[in-house]
Structure 1
């Protein structure tokens, strides 16, 4: 399946309330896939986080440090859910995306494009030991 079709299908599955398009190609794809959803560009002064940030060409030409900075700024200030298309010449490889908390959503081996997704809600599952059953019982402590 063509990577743009995979990206569009993922957008339709998520159905975000608002999209923050990181580049012109992302803006166009979001408008086509979700015609009734507001799509914003960088520089829009709403001041509130959006449901999803989408980037297609935004990482092209960036070195690894600037790409990580862009991703962290987007994650902190723009949207807690990010979809990024990584072209063949992207400075971040699959391992670096994993280190940043992304999962591989889809890949197109014919065009060598990977789609990575980050969602703060599913970033880290709550471990079993983190519940009241394993907490200390202060009433059992003697001074």
Structure 2
């Protein structure tokens, strides 16, 4: 409650919407968010104060809409909001940093770090390189095909 029994101010602000959409763009490009999740995330960006025609269109699409339609509406919403879709390498580096933060805060166990190919991430800073060097290199073994009669 705020002063004199008034309701607290809502946490959303016009600045929160673009930041939320920018984070979604980065996570989408890193493969952490799937196309079918974008309509609900667009609705959250609208609730946070960002309002563009394409964002409204995206928020109105069902989860099972054609993925191309969802992707096109998402990219148009980003464009209308002045947000660029980051390149995959940058998005992956941001994902690596989120992973490190989750580990630091105890949200994931060290064993969970072996679930992806993080060791392939092109780290650019000393901190990123140090973190990547600690990650186990999980390589899927190649299965040798056995020919009949061999």
Provide TM-score, normalisation by structure 1: 0.26
Larger Rg: 2
Higher helix share: 2
Provide TM-score, normalisation by structure 2: 0.25
